[in-house]
Structure 1
Amino acid sequence: MVIKVFLASSSGSTAIKKKQQDVVGFLEALKVEYTPLDIACNEDNRMWMRENVPSEKKPSNGIPLPPQIFNEEGYCGDYETFFNAKEDNLVYSFLGLDPPPGSKEDE
Structure 2
Amino acid sequence: MSITVFFSSVSSNTLMKKNQNRIFSILDSKKIPYKAVDISQNPADKDLMRQRAMDPTALPPQICNGDIYCGDFTAFDNAIEMEQLEAFLKI
User: What TM-score comes out, normalization by structure 1 length?
Assistant: 0.82
Which residue number in structure 2 is paired with residue 30 of structure 1? 30
Aligned equivalents of 1:42, 1:86: Cα separation in 2: 30
Which residue number in structure 2 is paired with residue 81 of structure 1? 75
Which residue number in structure 2 is paired with residue 21 of structure 1? 21
Larger RCO (alpha carbons 8 Å, 6+ apart): 2
What are the ranges of 5 or more consecutive residues in structure 2 without an aligned counterpart? none
Within 5 Å, give how 1:3-18 maps onto structure 2.
Answer: 3-18=3-18
Once the two structures are aligned, what percentage of the paired residues are identical? Answer: 37
4+ residue runs of structure 1 moved beyond 3 angstroms? Answer: none
Larger Rg: 1
Q: Partner letter of residue 63 of structure 1?
A: T
What are the ranges of 5 or more consecutive residues in structure 1 without an aligned counterpart? 98-107
User: What TM-score comes out, normalization by structure 2 length?
Assistant: 0.96
Which residue number in structure 2 is paired with residue 50 of structure 1? 50
Q: Does structure 1 residue 95 correspond to structure 2 residue 89?
A: yes
Aligned equivalents of 2:79, 2:52: Cα separation in 1: 21
How many residues in Structure 1 have an aligned counterpart in Structure 2? Answer: 91
RMSD value, Cα: 0.8
User: For residues 2-22 of structure 1, what are the alpha-carbon distances to aligned partners after superposition, in whole Å with 9 as ceiling and x for unaligned?
Assistant: 100000011110000000000
Aligned equivalents of 1:52, 1:87: Cα separation in 2: 24
Aligned equivalents of 1:40, 1:16: Cα separation in 2: 13
